[in-house]
Amino acid sequence: MTNHVLGIDIGGTGIKGAPVDLTTGTLLAERFRIPTPQPATPAAVAATANEIVKHFDWKGDIGIGFPAVVKNGVVRTAGNIDQSWIGCNGKELFENEFGLPVTLVNDADAAGYAEMAFGAGKDVPGSVLIVTLGTGIGTAMFLDGKLFPNTELGHMIIREKDAELRASASARERNEWSWKKWGGNVSEYLTELHKLLWCDLFIIGGGASNKWEKMEPHVQCPTKVVPATLANLAGIVGAALAARADGPPKTTAKPPARNTPRTAAARRK
Ligand code: BGC
Protein backbone atom coordinates (compact mmCIF):
# COMPACT_ATOMS: atom_id res chain seq x y z
CA MET A 1 0.00 0.00 0.00
CA THR A 2 1.49 3.33 -1.03
CA ASN A 3 1.98 6.09 1.47
CA HIS A 4 0.71 8.70 -0.95
CA VAL A 5 -2.89 9.85 -0.57
CA LEU A 6 -4.75 12.76 -2.19
CA GLY A 7 -6.04 15.08 0.58
CA ILE A 8 -8.98 17.37 -0.19
CA ASP A 9 -10.26 20.08 2.16
CA ILE A 10 -13.78 21.27 1.42
CA GLY A 11 -14.60 24.69 2.83
CA GLY A 12 -17.32 27.31 2.48
CA THR A 13 -15.28 29.43 0.08
CA GLY A 14 -12.65 27.10 -1.41
CA ILE A 15 -12.01 23.46 -2.21
CA LYS A 16 -8.30 22.68 -1.91
CA GLY A 17 -6.30 19.56 -2.55
CA ALA A 18 -2.84 18.08 -2.96
CA PRO A 19 -1.18 14.68 -2.90
CA VAL A 20 0.36 14.05 0.53
CA ASP A 21 3.29 11.92 1.65
CA LEU A 22 1.94 10.40 4.85
CA THR A 23 5.38 9.52 6.18
CA THR A 24 6.53 13.13 6.29
CA GLY A 25 3.21 15.00 6.24
CA THR A 26 4.42 17.05 3.28
CA LEU A 27 2.74 17.88 -0.02
CA LEU A 28 4.06 16.10 -3.10
CA ALA A 29 2.86 18.88 -5.42
CA GLU A 30 1.66 22.44 -5.11
CA ARG A 31 -1.81 22.75 -3.59
CA PHE A 32 -4.64 23.30 -6.10
CA ARG A 33 -7.62 25.46 -5.10
CA ILE A 34 -11.01 26.04 -6.76
CA PRO A 35 -13.73 28.35 -5.37
CA THR A 36 -16.61 26.42 -3.80
CA PRO A 37 -19.58 26.44 -6.23
CA GLN A 38 -22.68 28.34 -5.10
CA PRO A 39 -25.12 26.96 -4.20
CA ALA A 40 -22.81 24.30 -2.76
CA THR A 41 -25.13 21.37 -3.42
CA PRO A 42 -23.80 17.79 -3.20
CA ALA A 43 -23.72 17.36 -7.01
CA ALA A 44 -21.96 20.71 -7.59
CA VAL A 45 -19.36 20.14 -4.84
CA ALA A 46 -18.65 16.58 -6.04
CA ALA A 47 -18.10 17.84 -9.61
CA THR A 48 -15.74 20.58 -8.39
CA ALA A 49 -13.80 18.17 -6.16
CA ASN A 50 -13.43 15.94 -9.23
CA GLU A 51 -11.60 18.81 -10.96
CA ILE A 52 -8.94 18.47 -8.25
CA VAL A 53 -8.72 14.70 -8.78
CA LYS A 54 -8.32 15.27 -12.53
CA HIS A 55 -5.81 18.09 -12.03
CA PHE A 56 -3.45 15.64 -10.32
CA ASP A 57 -4.47 12.77 -12.61
CA TRP A 58 -5.02 10.89 -9.34
CA LYS A 59 -5.64 7.14 -9.36
CA GLY A 60 -5.20 6.18 -5.68
CA ASP A 61 -6.86 6.65 -2.30
CA ILE A 62 -8.47 9.96 -1.35
CA GLY A 63 -9.25 11.53 2.03
CA ILE A 64 -11.72 14.41 2.28
CA GLY A 65 -12.31 16.84 5.16
CA PHE A 66 -15.85 18.21 5.20
CA PRO A 67 -17.30 21.10 7.32
CA ALA A 68 -20.02 19.09 9.07
CA VAL A 69 -20.64 16.06 11.27
CA VAL A 70 -19.83 12.94 9.23
CA LYS A 71 -20.79 9.52 10.58
CA ASN A 72 -19.87 6.44 8.58
CA GLY A 73 -19.65 8.57 5.43
CA VAL A 74 -23.05 10.21 5.93
CA VAL A 75 -23.26 13.99 6.43
CA ARG A 76 -25.46 14.72 9.44
CA THR A 77 -25.39 18.51 9.93
CA ALA A 78 -25.12 21.61 7.75
CA GLY A 79 -24.09 24.70 9.73
CA ASN A 80 -22.24 26.57 6.99
CA ILE A 81 -23.09 24.45 3.94
CA ASP A 82 -26.13 23.80 1.79
CA GLN A 83 -28.93 22.14 3.79
CA SER A 84 -29.38 19.50 1.08
CA TRP A 85 -26.23 17.78 2.42
CA ILE A 86 -28.06 16.54 5.51
CA GLY A 87 -28.55 12.79 5.20
CA CYS A 88 -26.43 12.58 2.05
CA ASN A 89 -23.99 9.66 1.89
CA GLY A 90 -21.03 11.82 0.94
CA LYS A 91 -18.58 8.93 0.80
CA GLU A 92 -20.68 7.15 -1.85
CA LEU A 93 -21.35 10.39 -3.71
CA PHE A 94 -17.62 11.19 -4.06
CA GLU A 95 -16.68 7.56 -4.81
CA ASN A 96 -19.22 7.42 -7.65
CA GLU A 97 -18.01 10.77 -9.00
CA PHE A 98 -14.29 9.88 -8.87
CA GLY A 99 -14.42 6.10 -9.37
CA LEU A 100 -11.88 5.88 -6.52
CA PRO A 101 -11.97 4.94 -2.79
CA VAL A 102 -12.79 7.87 -0.49
CA THR A 103 -12.62 8.40 3.28
CA LEU A 104 -14.81 11.29 4.43
CA VAL A 105 -14.33 12.98 7.81
CA ASN A 106 -15.16 16.21 9.61
CA ASP A 107 -12.75 19.01 8.58
CA ALA A 108 -11.65 19.91 12.12
CA ASP A 109 -11.04 16.23 12.91
CA ALA A 110 -8.87 16.13 9.79
CA ALA A 111 -6.90 19.23 10.87
CA GLY A 112 -6.56 17.61 14.29
CA TYR A 113 -5.07 14.43 12.81
CA ALA A 114 -2.44 16.55 11.05
CA GLU A 115 -1.55 18.71 14.06
CA MET A 116 -1.27 15.63 16.30
CA ALA A 117 0.93 13.78 13.79
CA PHE A 118 3.17 16.58 12.51
CA GLY A 119 2.30 19.85 14.22
CA ALA A 120 1.78 21.44 17.63
CA GLY A 121 0.27 18.26 19.10
CA LYS A 122 3.07 15.91 18.04
CA ASP A 123 3.97 13.57 20.92
CA VAL A 124 1.74 15.50 23.31
CA PRO A 125 0.08 13.09 25.77
CA GLY A 126 -3.13 13.69 27.70
CA SER A 127 -6.15 15.68 26.55
CA VAL A 128 -5.69 18.03 23.61
CA LEU A 129 -8.36 20.08 21.87
CA ILE A 130 -7.74 21.57 18.43
CA VAL A 131 -9.98 24.58 17.79
CA THR A 132 -10.14 25.92 14.23
CA LEU A 133 -11.33 29.50 13.89
CA GLY A 134 -12.54 29.95 10.31
CA THR A 135 -15.91 30.44 8.63
CA GLY A 136 -17.20 28.33 11.51
CA ILE A 137 -15.51 26.99 14.62
CA GLY A 138 -14.42 23.37 14.42
CA THR A 139 -13.11 21.23 17.27
CA ALA A 140 -11.16 17.96 17.43
CA MET A 141 -10.63 16.29 20.79
CA PHE A 142 -7.79 13.84 21.42
CA LEU A 143 -6.90 11.73 24.44
CA ASP A 144 -3.38 10.29 24.31
CA GLY A 145 -3.39 10.83 20.55
CA LYS A 146 -6.72 9.08 19.94
CA LEU A 147 -9.58 11.08 18.45
CA PHE A 148 -13.06 11.43 19.92
CA PRO A 149 -14.75 12.18 16.56
CA ASN A 150 -17.32 14.79 15.57
CA THR A 151 -17.20 17.07 18.61
CA GLU A 152 -19.17 20.22 17.79
CA LEU A 153 -17.92 22.49 20.56
CA GLY A 154 -17.89 25.46 18.21
CA HIS A 155 -21.63 25.57 18.73
CA MET A 156 -21.42 25.94 22.49
CA ILE A 157 -23.84 28.61 23.68
CA ILE A 158 -22.17 31.58 25.33
CA ARG A 159 -24.36 34.31 26.78
CA GLU A 160 -27.31 33.00 24.72
CA LYS A 161 -25.40 33.02 21.45
CA ASP A 162 -23.65 30.33 19.39
CA ALA A 163 -19.89 30.61 20.08
CA GLU A 164 -19.33 30.56 16.32
CA LEU A 165 -20.99 33.98 16.13
CA ARG A 166 -18.70 35.33 18.86
CA ALA A 167 -15.27 33.90 18.09
CA SER A 168 -14.94 32.62 14.48
CA ALA A 169 -12.75 34.41 11.93
CA SER A 170 -15.86 35.19 9.86
CA ALA A 171 -17.51 36.88 12.88
CA ARG A 172 -14.40 39.01 13.20
CA GLU A 173 -14.56 40.01 9.52
CA ARG A 174 -18.30 40.70 9.60
CA ASN A 175 -18.01 42.90 12.67
CA GLU A 176 -14.62 44.41 11.78
CA TRP A 177 -13.26 43.62 15.24
CA SER A 178 -9.76 44.62 16.32
CA TRP A 179 -7.37 41.83 17.42
CA LYS A 180 -7.99 42.96 20.99
CA LYS A 181 -11.77 42.57 20.70
CA TRP A 182 -11.51 39.24 18.84
CA GLY A 183 -8.86 37.99 21.28
CA GLY A 184 -11.16 38.90 24.17
CA ASN A 185 -14.04 36.93 22.65
CA VAL A 186 -11.78 33.96 21.91
CA SER A 187 -10.52 34.08 25.52
CA GLU A 188 -14.08 33.97 26.84
CA TYR A 189 -14.86 30.98 24.61
CA LEU A 190 -11.68 29.10 25.53
CA THR A 191 -12.25 29.75 29.23
CA GLU A 192 -15.74 28.23 28.96
CA LEU A 193 -14.22 25.20 27.27
CA HIS A 194 -11.62 25.03 30.03
CA LYS A 195 -14.29 25.01 32.73
CA LEU A 196 -16.04 22.06 31.10
CA LEU A 197 -13.15 19.97 29.80
CA TRP A 198 -9.98 20.74 31.79
CA CYS A 199 -7.81 19.85 28.78
CA ASP A 200 -4.01 19.82 28.98
CA LEU A 201 -3.62 21.85 25.79
CA PHE A 202 -5.62 23.95 23.32
CA ILE A 203 -4.23 24.26 19.77
CA ILE A 204 -5.69 27.14 17.77
CA GLY A 205 -5.94 26.61 14.01
CA GLY A 206 -7.34 28.66 11.14
CA GLY A 207 -6.24 32.14 10.09
CA ALA A 208 -5.28 33.24 13.61
CA SER A 209 -2.47 30.66 13.76
CA ASN A 210 -0.61 32.48 10.95
CA LYS A 211 -0.78 35.81 12.81
CA TRP A 212 -0.39 34.45 16.33
CA GLU A 213 1.82 37.36 17.43
CA LYS A 214 -1.24 39.62 17.00
CA MET A 215 -3.64 37.29 18.78
CA GLU A 216 -1.43 36.03 21.61
CA PRO A 217 -1.24 39.23 23.73
CA HIS A 218 -5.04 39.19 24.03
CA VAL A 219 -5.54 35.50 24.82
CA GLN A 220 -6.08 34.62 28.45
CA CYS A 221 -7.11 31.13 29.51
CA PRO A 222 -6.18 28.81 32.40
CA THR A 223 -5.46 26.02 29.87
CA LYS A 224 -2.20 26.33 27.92
CA VAL A 225 -2.93 27.74 24.42
CA VAL A 226 -0.60 27.41 21.42
CA PRO A 227 -1.03 28.12 17.69
CA ALA A 228 -1.33 25.32 15.13
CA THR A 229 1.89 25.00 13.15
CA LEU A 230 0.72 23.53 9.83
CA ALA A 231 -1.24 26.66 8.91
CA ASN A 232 -3.62 26.16 6.00
CA LEU A 233 -2.11 22.79 5.08
CA ALA A 234 -3.50 20.96 8.12
CA GLY A 235 -6.87 20.34 6.43
CA ILE A 236 -5.32 18.70 3.36
CA VAL A 237 -2.64 16.72 5.22
CA GLY A 238 -5.13 15.55 7.86
CA ALA A 239 -7.74 14.52 5.28
CA ALA A 240 -5.10 12.34 3.64
CA LEU A 241 -4.07 10.89 7.03
CA ALA A 242 -7.70 9.98 7.76
CA ALA A 243 -7.57 7.53 4.86
CA ARG A 244 -4.83 5.58 6.67
CA ALA A 245 -3.55 4.71 10.12
CA ASP A 246 -6.57 3.53 12.06
CA GLY A 247 -8.70 5.84 9.90
CA PRO A 248 -11.79 7.51 11.21
CA PRO A 249 -13.42 5.50 14.00
CA LYS A 250 -16.38 3.35 12.99
CA THR A 251 -19.72 3.86 14.69
CA THR A 252 -21.49 0.77 15.95
CA ALA A 253 -24.62 0.32 13.86
CA LYS A 254 -26.78 -0.71 16.81
CA PRO A 255 -26.46 1.09 20.14
CA PRO A 256 -25.74 -1.38 22.97
CA ALA A 257 -28.73 -2.17 25.18
CA ARG A 258 -28.46 -0.18 28.38
CA ASN A 259 -28.98 -1.40 31.94
CA THR A 260 -29.86 -4.90 30.79
CA PRO A 261 -28.66 -7.52 33.30
CA ARG A 262 -26.89 -10.21 31.31
CA THR A 263 -27.65 -13.25 33.48
CA ALA A 264 -30.49 -14.48 35.61
CA ALA A 265 -28.17 -14.22 38.61
CA ALA A 266 -27.48 -10.58 37.81
CA ARG A 267 -31.21 -9.94 37.44
CA ARG A 268 -31.91 -11.35 40.91
CA LYS A 269 -29.36 -9.02 42.56
C1 BGC B 1 -19.46 22.83 11.76
C2 BGC B 1 -18.35 21.87 12.08
C3 BGC B 1 -17.10 22.26 11.32
C4 BGC B 1 -16.75 23.72 11.58
C5 BGC B 1 -15.55 24.18 10.78
C6 BGC B 1 -19.01 24.26 12.01
O7 BGC B 1 -20.03 25.14 11.66
O8 BGC B 1 -20.60 22.57 12.55
O9 BGC B 1 -18.73 20.55 11.75
O10 BGC B 1 -16.02 21.44 11.71
O11 BGC B 1 -17.85 24.55 11.26
O12 BGC B 1 -15.76 24.08 9.42
3-state secondary structure 44-100: HHHHHHHHHHHHCCCCCCEEEEECCCEECCEECCCCCCCHHHCCCEHHHHHHHHHCC
Q: What are phi and psi of 203, to 5 degrees?
A: -115, 120
N- to C-terminal Cα distance for the chain? 52
259 versus 62: which is more confidently predicted?
Answer: 62
The per-residue pLDDT for 196 is 98
Residue 264, pLDDT > 70, answer no
| Average pLDDT in the chain | 92
pTM: 0.91
DSSP 226: E
> How does residue 246 score in pLDDT terms, banded at 50, 70 and 90?
low
The per-residue pLDDT for 267 is 43
- Rounded to the nearest angstrom, the distance between the alpha carbon of 75 and the centre of ligand 1 is 12
Stretch among 64-68, 196-200, 255-259 having the lowest mean pLDDT: 255-259
Please state the separation of Cα 68 from the chain's center in Å: 8
> How does residue 2 score in pLDDT terms, banded at 50, 70 and 90?
confident
Question: Mean pLDDT over residues 209-234, rounded?
Answer: 95
Residue closest via CA to ligand 1's atom 1 equals 68
d(Cα 131, Cα 140) in Å, to the nearest integer?
7
Question: Mean pLDDT over residues 209-220, rounded?
Answer: 95
Q: At what angle do helices 90-98 and 42-55 cross, to 10 degrees?
A: 40
Domains observed in the chain: 4-106 (3.30.420.40), 120-229 (3.30.420.40)
Residues 21-55 have pLDDT tens digits of 999 999 999 999 999 999 999 999 999 999 999 99
Residue closest via CA to ligand 1's atom 6 equals 136
Question: Mean pLDDT over residues 85-98, rounded?
Answer: 98
Which of 13, 83, 85, 106 for a ligand 1 pocket mutation test, highest count of atoms within 8 Å of Cβ?
A: 106
> How does residue 263 score in pLDDT terms, banded at 50, 70 and 90?
very low
The rounded percent of the chain whose pLDDT value lies above 70 is 90
Which residues lie with the beta carbon below 6 Å from any ligand 1 atom?
67-69, 77, 79-80, 106-108, 132, 134, 136, 138, 152, 154, 164
Residues 147-182 have pLDDT tens digits of 999 999 999 999 999 999 999 999 999 999 999 999
Question: Mean pLDDT over residues 132-153, rounded?
Answer: 97
The per-residue pLDDT for 268 is 46
* Strand 146-148, strand 161-162: pairing: unpaired
> How does residue 259 score in pLDDT terms, banded at 50, 70 and 90?
very low
- Rounded to the nearest angstrom, the distance between the alpha carbon of 2 and the centre of ligand 1 is 30
Number of other CB atoms surrounding residue 159 within 10 Å:
8
d(Cα 161, Cα 205) in Å, to the nearest integer?
22
